Every structure is written in C-alpha cells, then in structure tokens.
Amino acid sequence: MNGNNEAMEKAEPVYDAELVDDTLPQPRRRTARERFLQWWHRSPRVPRSLKSRAQARQAAKDATVTAVKLPYRYLGSVARGLIAGARWWRRWVTVRDYREAAEQQEKLADKFAEIRELTLFRWRVTGAVAVASAFAFTLVVVLWGYGPLWIAGALLSASLAMLGRRNDGSPGRKPALAGPRTLTWTMDPQVLVDAFRDAKLIGKDEVLRLVERATRVGNGWAVTVDLPATRKAADVIKNREALASALAVDEIQLIVERVRGKGGHAGRVAMWVADEDPYSSPPLRTPLLGVDRWDAWRPVPFGRDARDRRIDLPLVWTSVLVGAIPRQGKTFAARLAAAGLILDPHTRLYVADFKAGKDWDAAAQVAHRFMSGDETEHVHALKDWLVELVGEVQGRYRRMRTLDDIVCPESKITPEISRDTTLNMPVTAIIVDEVQVPLEDRTPVAVQGKKLTAGEYIGELLTWLAKKGPAAGIVLILATQRPDSKTIPSGLRAVLGSRFALRVMDWQDSNIVLGEQMNTRGYDSSRLLPSHKGVGILRPDGETQAGADVLAVTVRTYYMPNEDWRTVCERGRALRESAGTLTGHAAGEEAPPELDHAAVARVIGTGTAAAAPEPARPVELPEPLASVVDYLGDDLDEREFVPSAELVEALDVEPTAFGRQMGDLGCRSDRQRVPRDDGSVRQIRGYYTADIRAVVDGWADREDDP
C-alpha cells in the first residue's frame, strides 16, 4: 500500500446536513372567476341541475318529458273536474244531503213530500240557469263574436283542471286525508259515525245517536253519543288510540269517558277533543303561593286537566304513590301534596329524602322528623320512625275508644280531634322520596327471633300503616323512580289509595303504579310524551273536579320550583311558631323516640317462625286459601312464586274452579318467566306468595276487629 500512496488523491470533506431553501413560493391569489366557481358549486341557493353538465342534461330531459305530457295531464284534470262537478250537481239536484239527514233520523217517510218539492225546485233552477246561459251565449256571439267565449272557455277549463287535480297520491280530486280524518265531525255528525266505523267500534250497518250535539268546551269540542245496543263504552275507552287515528288527532288530545250515574249507562260515551296539545303550554304556578294558610282536610291543589279544570288531591284518610322514570317531575308532584300539609300548622311531618339531594332541605324547618341520605344508617332511621308511628297509631285507637260518640262518632279522627292539642292526634304525614332505596336494602335485621332484611321489614311496616293508619290520621306519600313488582311489594301497592303515574317505560310499570289492567281501560302512562314534564295519570281515592265516577284523569301538575318551595316551608314554620305546634327536628329536639320493637312486631304480624303459621289455621281461613297455606308451610315466607299447576296437583282440585275461588278471595294469578334446562325461557302462571300473605293478613285483621 505504501507504493500506491503517490497515486492516491485527497478527497473533499463530506458533510451530513439538509438542503434548506429560504425562498419559499408565496401562495397564489385566486382569481375572481375561481372564487365565483367555488361559490357556484357550494351555494345551496343554486339549483343542483345547474352545478354540473350531467345534472343539467338530466334536468333538460325531465323538462322535455314534462312538457310533452303536460297537455295530456291538463286534459285529464279537466275531465276529472268535469266528472266531479257533474257528481256534485247530481247530489244537489237529487237532494241527497237532505235525504241522508232524514234517513239518519228515521223520518224519511215523513219528509217525502218536502224532499219531492225541493227536488222539483232544484230542477227548475237548473233549467232556468241552462236557458239563461244559452241566451247569454247567443247574445255574446251576436255582439262580440267568439273571442270572449274562448276566454271564458279557457278560464272554465282552468277551474275544472284545478278541481280535478290529483293530490297526495289519491286517484281522485280529494286529498288522501279527507273524510272522517278531519275535525269536520264537529259540524257533521255523519263523519263522527264514519270515524267510529273506521275504528271498528261499530258495525257498517250501525249508527250513533247524538245525546248532546258538539259544543265548544274550553279549547276543544265536546259531544255525547249513545252507542248501539250491543256496544259498550268500555270498548271505546280501551280503543281510544284507534278512534283518535280515525279523527286525525293525537290521542293526548282525545278524552273519552263513560257517562255514569244519573243520565248515564254502559253505552253512553262523552268525548272531548282539544284543538291542539293541551299540555304544550307552560305550566302554572301552584295556587298555594297565594294563600296564607291551608286546611289539611281540604284537598290540595294538584294540577289541571286537559280541559283546564283544577284538579285537587285529597290526602286525609288515604295514601299516595307517585311513580315515574327520572326527570319527569316525580319530586315536584310529591312536594305539591306535602305543601298543603305544611301550610296547616296542626299537621306533623316525617320527611325522608333518600335521593340525598337538596330538593327537600327546606322541609327541615317544619318537619317533626327529617333526614336526607341513602346510607344504611338512614334506612335504619326510617325503620325506627315507622316503628314509632305504629305505636302511635295503636295509642290513638286506644285514646279514641275512650272518647264519647259526640267527639268521636266513629273510630276515625275528625278535624276537631286533629286540632285539639290535649288529645295529641294531629294529621301526620310520612313522606319518603325514592322509597325503592329502603325497600331494596338487604341489611339483615332480627325481629322477635326472626331474621329479615331491612327492606322486607320496612315494607311490612309501611303496609300496616297504609292499612291501619289513615283512619288514625296517618298519611303516606311515597315516591319512586323504579315502579316494578320487585321493588314495591304487591301487598303495599294494594292498600295505597291514590296513585299518580308520570311517564314510565312500559305498560307493566304503569299498571304497577295505577293498578292491574289499567292499560286495558285506556290509562297507560308509558304513552305520555317525553316533552310532557309533570304530566301524569292520576287515580284519586276520592272525588275530584272531573267527577266522582271518573276512574282516572290525566293531569299536568302545578309548577313549584325550589324558591317557591322554600317560601311555602318558611310560611309553614311561621304558622307553627305562632300556633305553638313546632316540634321535633324543626324545634331542635333530636332525642330518639322510645321504641318497643317486640310490641310492634306482634302488632303487624311479624314474629317467630312458630308464631307465624298461627293466623293460617284452616279453621280461620276460607277454602281453598287454608289448604294453600297448609301446603306451603314455611315456604310461604321463603318462596317468591308458586305455579298454579303445582297447587292444583298437590290439592287435587279442578283448575278453573280453583282459579275462580282464589280470585274471589283476592289472590290473582300472574305470569312469570322461568328458565329451562336448555337455556330457553317459558312463561308459567301462578301466584306470588306476597299476595297470598297479604290476603292471609287481611283475614287475620278481620278476626282481630270487634
């Protein structure tokens, strides 16, 4: 290699770098033509047919085809208009309208002479018009020639073409939504008859009889009709949606009620149709803001129905259940019921807010007992409250027994008794928001040697208070966002008098709040619109402004925001301070009550396993209930559901007669889904043991009462 050094040349140095050009090109400004083309292609104001050549060619082809067909379409419209005009003239000249009205009234024979005279008159009018037209035609031709006739013919053909044009895909001149699918029934009863026929509520040969003609009531029309002899008003109420469709209105605008009492019968129907959605307007503030105080014995202003009638909710001697999915106005509805009690200084309130929010915080300044939370200790606090109230109810009944018949004519409190501070029996309300929280609590508790969950024990306490408490002045107001059969025991639901169901997810949940089979009677809160906040179906326990015989009514509750709620509570505290009736939590008295759990357990029927079967002895229960209880034994408390087939086989009874007898006793069978071995699910009919226990308790209570 040394020899080659002389031939080698020194190389240039190599650099590792990137080439950077400082002189980047400046963006080119678009020309006016480019900006115009960009706007032309993006603007929604330019028709699509002008944005590209392909679309322009297709638009030109369509225009050519339309131009070629236009004369034929015009002639077709003129022909249809001519036929339609001829048909109208024929109905007019034959007095078809007058004849049909006489047929509906079954007076065709009596009106025959009048129909004939009117027919001859209209034929004379037709002849006179024809002669006058011929004379005018001749006069115009003589004086001005045929020019004016061509102009008149063109105008006449255009009018006929407009009369015979096709609308909404209909082959004739009438639009597809004509006829009974309009509110013309308010002027023409025949269209109402057609709507009933379209809804399959009456037959083709059957008619309605107008009891009261259509009249304006509020912002809608009201009419009362009698159905044919074989039809029932209950079927019309059940098929309200089909009738609303036939009348071309939303079912929320249609109210159908059976006319009961004096002047009513099973086939008489009262209808009211709103001009528009009656619940689309803003809600009204509660009238309680304008009063200084309220009497708890008066029904509380609750809301307004579709006809804008005020609906009041009675509270004394009953209980209230409010159910809905979240954010539908459940808490607002419960607070409306409580507001009337707060404004009466002689009432006592127990408020338990398991939502753990601030919706009920203002009630702490008037409540005898108050708590807000969803922990286990709050559930146990509610349990102690209920035990305290059970003892209170028993004490009230003992004190009422010592009163004379003038002061206490029955075993019920009166307004005078509730306001007598010496008797200490005020109207007392237990308000539980999100009641599903304590009812679903699975914390074990021991009651007289028997182990229960806290939820089961609270359910038994609430059920007993709902049955025995109203006559002693105890009012239950329960609100839940989970209205299902597993959350609220059937025994508890059965004894809650007033129900209010806001929007829920399906008809089963609606029935759980309102009662069994209510959806088949036309009351289903799952059909309420999401926009209808605070709108629900009220099934009151007592008479309302809608009538004493009305089963349920759709109500839009009054609006009471937090600031109004605080105002009501502050006013209630001032009334109690003035009357000297401020007690418990509101007065700063937090001493826990003295409780006798053993006595309460004996009162409500919760005891040891040995004592539990005592009320179920065959001699104390009717058949077949006694045999069912004997067969189930301890399973009556442990099992949730027992199939009907199992009972029929074990008791060796006839299935149909067994089901009828159990139903007469208050035990209704139901269906439950049961998984099979192969993973599929089948439905079986049977009885919930909670329902059987509730009936057994009811018979035990009858024997306990003197």
Contacts of 532 (CB under 8 A, 6+ apart): 252, 279, 503, 556
Q: Is the pLDDT of residue 97 over 70?
A: yes
Residue 497, token pair as written in the block: 């008098």
Decide if 572 contacts 292 (C-beta within 8 A): no
Tokens describing residue 420: 């007598």
Contact assessment for residue 233 and residue 268, using Cβ atoms and an 8 Å cutoff: yes
Q: What is the pLDDT of residues 290-306, one digit of tens each?
A: 899 999 999 999 999 88
What mean pLDDT comes out for the span 551-574? 92
**pLDDT at 674 (0 to 100):** 62
Q: In angstroms, rounded to a whole number, what is the distance separating the alpha carbons of residues 64 and 85?
A: 32
CA 120 to chain centre: 56
Residue predicted with more confidence, 162 or 353: 353
Give the separation between CA 496 and CA 488, rounded to whole angstroms.
11
DSSP 286: P
How far is residue 335's CA from residue 503's CA, in Å, rounded to a whole number? 18
d(CA 325, CA 532): 13
Preceding peptide of 624 cis, ω within 30°: yes
Task: Assess whether pLDDT exceeds 60 at residue 616.
Answer: no
In whole angstroms, give the CA distance from residue 371 to residue 386: 14
Position 636 pLDDT exceeds 60: yes
Nearest to 278, CA basis, from 256, 311, 257, 254: 254
Q: pLDDT digit string (tens) for 365-422?
A: 999 999 999 898 999 999 999 999 998 999 999 888 888 888 888 888 999 999 998 8
Tell me the per-residue pLDDT of 430-468, one tens digit each, with 9 for 90 and over: 999 999 999 998 888 887 777 888 999 999 999 999 989
Q: What letter does residue 249 receive in the DSSP assignment?
A: S
Asked if residue 135 has pLDDT above 80, the reply is: yes
Rounded Cα distance, 594 and 227, in Å: 62
* Alpha-carbon span 622 to 699, nearest angstrom: 9
Residue 177: its pLDDT value, please? 32
In terms of DSSP bridges, do strands 641-643 and 369-372 run parallel, antiparallel, or are they unpaired? unpaired
| Per-residue model confidence (pLDDT) at position 444 | 86
d(CA 355, CA 332): 13
472-502 residue pLDDT tens: 999 999 999 877 767 788 788 888 889 999 9
3-state secondary structure of 564: helix
Query: Which one, of 238, 308, 309, 223, lies nearest residue 269 by Cα?
Result: 223
Question: Taking residues 94-107, what's their average pLDDT?
Answer: 70
- Determine the angle formed by the axes of helices 147-163 and 53-93, rounding to 10 degrees: 100
CB atoms within 10 A of CB 704: 10
**Which of 634 and 695 is assigned the larger pLDDT?**
695
Yes or no: say if 602 and 399 are a contact pair by the CB < 8 Å rule.
no
pLDDT band at 684 (very low <50, low <70, confident <90, very high): confident
Q: Identify which has the larger pLDDT, 600 or 506.
A: 506
In this structure, the chain runs to a length of 706
Looking at residue 5, its pLDDT comes to: 47
Does residue 251 contact residue 304 with C-beta atoms inside 8 Å? Answer: no
What is the DSSP code (8-state) at residue 343? T
Cα separation, 371 vs 432, whole angstroms: 10
Against a cut of 0.75, is the pTM above it?
Answer: no
Look at residue 255 in the predicted model and tell me its pLDDT.
87
- Residue 238 phi/psi, 5-degree rounding, is -65, -35
- 254 pLDDT above the threshold of 70: yes
β-pairing verdict for 254-258 and 268-274:
antiparallel
Q: Which segments of 387-533 are extended strands (E)?
A: 427-433, 444-447, 450-453, 474-480, 498-501
Mean pLDDT across the chain, nearest whole number? 80
Note the pLDDT tens digit of each residue in 4-14.
444 455 545 55
DSSP 558-602: PB--HHHHHHHHHHHHHHHHHHT---GGGGT--PPPP--HHHHHH
Question: Residue 230: pLDDT above 50?
Answer: yes
Q: Which of 72-86, 439-453, 604-618 has the lowest mean pLDDT?
A: 604-618
**Quick check: 37 pLDDT over 80?**
no
Q: What is the 3-state secondary structure (H, E, C) of 471-531?
A: HHCEEEEEEECCCCCCCCCHHHHHCCCEEEECCCCCHHHHHHHHCCCCHHHCCCHHHCCCC
The residues facing 476 across adjacent strands are 430
Contact 484, 512 (CB under 8 A): yes
Is the separation of the CB atoms in 486 and 507 below 8 Å?
no
> How far is the C-alpha of 333 from the C-alpha of 560, rounded, in Å?
9
Q: Give me the residue label for tokens 């043991």.
A: 689
Read off the tokens for 141.
């031709």
Residues 6+ apart with CB under 8 A from 693: 491, 636, 637
HEC readout, 408-435: CCCCCCCHHHHHCCCCCCCEEEEEEECC
What is the per-residue pLDDT across 541-562, written as a single tens digit (0 to 9) for each? 866 665 556 778 899 999 999 9
Largest alpha-carbon pair distance within the chain? 148
Gap between the Cα atoms of 189 and 97, Å rounded: 13
DSSP string, 528-557: S-TT-TTEEEEE-SS-BTTBTT-S-EEEEE
pLDDT at 705 over 60: no
